[in-house]
Amino acid sequence: MTSMGRVIAGMTMSLDGFVEDAEGSSGPLYEDFDVLGRSDYMTSMQDETGAVLMGRRTFEMGGDPDSWADEGYEFQVPIFVLTHTPPEKTPKGTDRLSFTFVTDGLETAVDRAKQAAGDRAVTVVGGADVNRQLLAAGLVDELRVDVMPVLLGAGLPLFAGVGPHSLEKIGVEEIGVRTSLRFRVT
């Protein structure tokens, strides 16, 4: 039997803790996207990821999901989208990339993603709400937060309402202007 991998949650946020500005844009947090995409940091994350978990809003923000197969989305693994209503048409996949829309809850989505990931990690890609739900439910093994050197002043906070958690620092890495903080959730 294969041991199941860990769940890695987290997002990129501003120094003052927001994942979107007051207008709902995350643009200021990804001005380094070209550098990030070519970094050893991203390659390492891709190598450790066996499945992706995301919310429906994040899925929809990605534009045409058929292009994820055609143009090579950065994670070519099974993608599990937590949603109340799946789309009418399942997006195109490849031999490595597939989409599963999970409508029966967070725990089911995590279990299915872990099964697909095998001994590799389930990486949570976007969705402050999904990240908060996972933390609140005790389903996160590792928290990875990338901090950009910008103050947004207002917007969507990453950790609002999560409640207390004990964390153990397991790594700090600088990738260009961003700082990646890694914690084990204890």
Residue-by-residue pLDDT tens, the chain, 186 positions:
345 789 999 999 999 999 999 999 999 999 998 888 889 999 999 999 999 999 998 898 878 888 888 767 889 999 999 999 999 988 988 889 999 999 999 999 999 999 999 999 999 997 899 999 999 999 999 999 999 999 999 999 999 989 899 999 999 999 999 999 999 999
Q: Is 70 a member of any domain?
A: yes
And the tokens for 141? 């093994």
CATH number, residue 72: 3.40.430.10
Q: Is 30 a member of any domain?
A: yes
Q: Give residue for tokens 């999560």.
A: 162
Residue 77 DSSP class: S
In terms of residue numbers, what domain contains 103?
7-185
Q: Is 48 a member of any domain?
A: yes
- pLDDT for 2: 42
**What span, in angstroms and rounded, lies between the C-alpha atoms of 137 and 41?**
28
For the chain, the domain total comes to 1
Q: Is 1 a member of any domain?
A: no
Q: Which long-range contacts (CB under 8 A, 24 or more apart) does 90-99 make?
A: 91/65, 91/66, 92/65, 92/66, 92/68, 93/69, 94/69, 97/68, 97/69, 97/73, 99/65
- pLDDT for 1: 39
Which residue, among 131, 75, 142, 143, has the nearest Cα to 106 in the 3D structure?
131
- pLDDT for 51: 97
Dihedral, CA of residue 167, residue 9, residue 75 and residue 106, to nearest 10: 150
Q: Which residues share a beta bridge with 58?
A: none
Which burial class, exposed, middle or buried, applies to 32 when counting CB atoms under 10 A from its CB (0-12, 13-18, 19+)?
middle
Single-letter amino acid code for the residue at 50: G
Q: Is 2 a member of any domain?
A: no
Q: Is 123 a member of any domain?
A: yes
Q: Is 62 a member of any domain?
A: yes
- pLDDT for 3: 53
Which is it for the CA torsion 176, 59, 93, 79, positive or negative?
Answer: positive
